[in-house]
Amino acid sequence: MGLGAARKTALVTGAAGFLGSHLVDRLLDEGYEVVGIDNLMTGDLGNLERAGRDPHFHFQMGDVRESIHVYAELVFNFACPASPVHYQSDPHATLTTSVLGALRLVEMARGRRCTIVHASTSEVYGDPTVHPQPESYWGNVNPIGERSCYDEGKRCAETLLNDARRAWGVDVRIARIFNTYGPRMAFDDGRVVSNFIVQALRGKPLTLFGDGKQTRSFCFVKDLIEGILALARPEPLLGRWGLRPDEPGSAPIPPFGPVNLGNPEEFTIRELAEEVLRIVGSDLEIIHAPLPADDPRQRKPDITRARELLGFSPRIGLRDGLRATVVDFQARLAERSPKGR
């Protein structure tokens, strides 16, 4: 096992989601017994097809807003709608999933020797006035806007988890995840990569919101999952602070803060659209639509901390990642198409 000598149990909330399902597969590859929880608000059991064939994977229908009765040495909290279409469709569920979910995990972790790896987001930085965004930046967030259910929910979850670390010594690791894409993304999630690919494969004009000059940094899912696993490993983090995992009295938990995980290569949204068209082999029209409220103008992670602390460095460039994603979308769209058409 890459994360421990004996088979241990990992719990993944939001296991049927895009990121959660990739994480489940990777943990099974590492030799973990994996319990996946999902209420299928936005998750898809099809994402767990591979995991379902593994006898070491156990799925439970469940909601992180309720008490969790699973023992696991390692807990990955990925339960929350993460795309604008999904998290704005039920803002109350989005906010309470972030906040109550973090609270339930803290309740579970208190008094147990387990680690919580929490999926936070670059949205905690809002529409940033600092570029690129380091973890020390507090953000520029609208607390009552259309996106606030997600932004503020994630910010509050970070507060709960950090207070649990300070007050009770709960081992908490927080990943601030920047735009991630790849196979298994939902067709209708409203994210720019999936929007462009689905439109291009269906022969429809690509919809560009605003002037297309706003920027994003896109991380392929395989790179992101490796960063998550690096964050979960105790050795780099403890070693950074001069401690050993087996050293008596090594608690309290080393005082590291949130860690940005993403690819720092920056592209305009128009550049992304043009790259998708090149890969699909199409000269479809690009049309413009009004920019959504509170949509960030720039988004790029400063991953200095992740490089130094975890040895994290994304390896898959945008073109290669988009090609793999397009192949996946083509296959899944073909399965949906009526036979004979």
Q: Which of 32, 125, 150, 181 is catalytic?
A: 150
245: left (phi over 0), alpha (psi -120 to 50) or beta: alpha
**3-state SS class at 76:** strand
Looking at the chain, which runs of residues are DSSP E strands?
9-13, 33-38, 57-61, 74-77, 115-121, 171-177, 180-181, 206-209, 215-217, 219-220, 259-261, 266-268, 286-289
116: left (phi over 0), alpha (psi -120 to 50) or beta: beta
Question: Would you state the structure tokens that stand for residue 123, as one six-digit string?
Answer: 């949205």
Bridge pairing between strands 115-121 and 171-177: parallel
User: Which residues lie closer than 8 Å to 279 by C-beta, 6 or more apart?
Assistant: 319, 322, 323, 326
- Exposure on the CB side of residue 218, measured as CA atoms within 13 A: 23
210: left (phi over 0), alpha (psi -120 to 50) or beta: left
Active site residue 150: yes
Q: Given CA atoms 46, 36, 80, 193 in this order, what sign does their dihedral have?
A: negative
Q: How far is CA 101 from CA 37, 149, 155, in A?
A: 12, 14, 13
- List the catalytic residues: 150
